[in-house]
Amino acid sequence: MTEQVRVPRAYFLRYPFGHPFGEPFAPAQQRQILADALGLLESVRVPGTIVDSPYRWRRHTFA
């Protein structure tokens, strides 16, 4: 779906739909995902780049 939409930069999480920033009441997780997404503004050079997140749903410990 993200490929079809063709946004300039995308951060892809293999999370359940309806959870683009992760789990509820998980501020460290939400903040990390938002920071990662914003970081693409600095790192991505090619339009349409989709970066896969390393996080697994409910399996990753966020500092």
Q: Which amino acid is at 31?
A: R
Task: Give the distance, in angstroms, between the CA of residue 27 and the centroid of all CA atoms in the same chain.
Answer: 15
- The least CB distance from residue 45 to other proteins, in Å, is 9
Q: Is 20 in the site for other proteins (CB under 8 A)?
A: yes
Q: Which amino acid is at 32?
A: Q
Q: Is 52 in the site for other proteins (CB under 8 A)?
A: no
- How many residues bind to other proteins according to rule CB under 8 A? 29
Distant-in-sequence, close-in-space partners of 53: CB < 8 Å, separation ≥ 6? 11, 12, 13, 14, 33, 36
Q: Is 5 in the site for other proteins (CB under 8 A)?
A: yes
| Interface ranges with other proteins (CB under 8 A) | 1, 4-8, 16-25, 27, 30-31, 33-35, 37-39, 41-42, 47-48
